[in-house]
Homo-oligomer: A and B are copies of this chain.
Amino acid sequence: MLSERQRMILSAIVDDYIRSAEPVGSRSISKRGDVSFSPATIRNEMADLEELGLLEQPHTSAGRIPSIKGYRYYVDHLIRLGGIGEQDMMKIRAFFAEKMNLWEEVVGHAATILSQLTNYTSIVLGPEMFNTTLKHFQLVPINESSAVAIIVTNTGHVEHRTVSIPEGIGMDDIQKIVNLLNDKLSGVPFIKVKSVLHSEIGEELGRFVDRCEQILDMLEKTLADDAEPKVFLSGATNIMTQPEFKDVDKVKSILDMLEETPKLMQLFQAVPEGIQVRIGTENPVEAINQCSLITATYSYEGQSLGTIGILGPTRMDYGKVISLLDYLSKDMALFMARWYK
C-alpha cells in the first residue's frame, strides 16, 4: 500500500516527533542519514501521506505531525523493537531478586519501577482472584457483636472484613462454622465458593446452628466484592513533564480520571492477552484522548493474572515501552510462578 520511501519518511517523522515534540519539516528529514532525498521530494511524499490521513499539519507553515492513524501504522508496521537497555534490565533483575512478602508489595513496587524506567505513568492491575482457590477461612471475634472474617487463598493473598455476628450465636457455634467451612471450602476455586456455599453447606450448617441463613448471607457479602482487582498507580505526575501537557486543565482531567477507580477500570475493559496499544481516541475514556495506553497481561499457566499499563502522551516512545512491558510482563509471570510454586 505505501511505497518503501513513504514508509521510511513516515517512520522518520514519527521518530523525530517523538523525540522533539515539534512538528517536523522536510528539511530536517532530508538531513538525516537514512533518507537521502531532497526536501522537495520529501515534501511531495508528505503531501501524499497527509492525503492518506497519516500525517497532519498544525497550520500551513508548520511541519507535519503524525495523526492517530499515522501512529497506528507506525506501531503496526514500522516500529523497531530494540529490546531494552542494559541498565533497565539490571534494575528489573534487581527488583525481582528482592525479597517481598506481600503480594500487594510486589505489584505496587513493579508499578514504581516501571514509572521510573519510562518516565510515564504506570498502572498495574492485579492480581485477579478468580482462578485462585480458597486455602483457609477464619473468623476472629472482636466483641459480642462483631468479628473479623479472614480469607487466605492458595496464592498467599489475604482478604479480610469486619462482619457483625447475628445475635444468639456463641463462640462454640462460630468454631463449628469455621471448622465446617474449612473442611468444605479448602481447595475450592474462588468463583465456585458461592455455589458450594449454597448447595453443600447450607443444609449441613442448619444441623449445627440456627440462623444459618444470616450467616450465609454474611459470608456471601464477605466474598462478594473481592473479585475486583486492585489498582496500583505510580508516576501520575510524570505526564506533567511532557511539553504538550503544560496546561493545567488538560492535566487535571487526566489525573482526576486516575483518581477514580471505576473510570480506570473502564480503561482496562476488554484488554486482550499480550501486548496491546491504544492510541489517542482509540481509548474508551475521553479524558485520555490525547494519550496512549500500552498494556501487557501477565499470566500463570495460561490464566491471566493481571494487567500492566503505561500511560503516556500519544507522542510516547512506543518502541521502548513495548519492549519494556514485554520483558517485564514475562519476568512477572515467572516471578508469580515461583511465588505459587
B residues near A150, Cβ cutoff 8 Å: 138, 150, 152, 158
Count contacts on A: residues with CB < 8 A to the other chain. Answer: 40
Chain A residues numbered 78-119 whose CB sits less than 8 Å from any CB in chain B: 101-103
Which of A48-56, A246-254, A315-323 participates in binding chain B? A246-254
| Interface mask (A163-180 → B, CB under 8 Å = 1, otherwise 0) | 100000000000000000
Which of A4-12, A63-71, A122-130, A139-147 participates in binding chain B? A139-147
Q: Is the CB–CB distance between A158 and B160 below 8 Å?
A: yes
Chain A residues numbered 224-263 whose CB sits less than 8 Å from any CB in chain B: 234-237, 240-241, 245-249, 251-252, 255-256, 259
Partner of A236, one of B160, B163, B259: B259
Given contacts A248-B251, A251-B240, A255-B236, contact A102 B161 (CB under 8 A): yes
Given contacts A102-B162, A245-B248, contact A146 B142 (CB under 8 A): no
B residues near A155, Cβ cutoff 8 Å: 142
A64 to chain B, nearest CB (A): 26
Greatest chain B CB density within 10 A among A144, A148, A161 is at: A148
- A43 located at the interface, meaning its Cβ lies under 8 Å from any Cβ of chain B in the complex: no
Given contacts A136-B140, A161-B102, contact A248 B256 (CB under 8 A): no
A151 to chain B, nearest CB (A): 10
Complex formed: what's the CA distance from A102 to B155 in Å?
Answer: 22
Complex formed: what's the CA distance from A140 to B186 in Å?
Answer: 12
Complex formed: what's the CA distance from A234 to B236 in Å?
Answer: 14
A143, closest chain B residue (CB)? B341
- A131 located at the interface, meaning its Cβ lies under 8 Å from any Cβ of chain B in the complex: no
Complex formed: what's the CA distance from A245 to B248 in Å?
Answer: 8
A99, closest chain B residue (CB)? B164
Complex formed: what's the CA distance from A236 to B247 in Å?
Answer: 17
- A187 located at the interface, meaning its Cβ lies under 8 Å from any Cβ of chain B in the complex: no
Q: Is the CB–CB distance between B161 and A101 below 8 Å?
A: yes
A59 to chain B, nearest CB (A): 24
Greatest chain B CB density within 10 A among A143, A155, A160, A234 is at: A160
A19 to chain B, nearest CB (A): 21
Complex formed: what's the CA distance from A246 to B250 in Å?
Answer: 11
A206 to chain B, nearest CB (A): 25
Complex formed: what's the CA distance from A156 to B162 in Å?
Answer: 7
Complex formed: what's the CA distance from A237 to B237 in Å?
Answer: 10
A218, closest chain B residue (CB)? B101
Complex formed: what's the CA distance from A235 to B260 in Å?
Answer: 10
B residues near A158, Cβ cutoff 8 Å: 148, 150, 158, 160
A163, closest chain B residue (CB)? B101
- 12 extra interface residue pairs, beta carbon distance < 8 Å, beyond A135-B142, A150-B152, A248-B251: A102-B161, A103-B162, A138-B150, A143-B341, A158-B160, A234-B259, A235-B259, A237-B255, A240-B248, A245-B248, A247-B248, A248-B248
Q: Which 8 A-B pairs have the closest CB atoms?
A: A158-B160, A101-B162, A136-B140, A240-B252, A237-B255, A140-B152, A156-B162, A142-B156
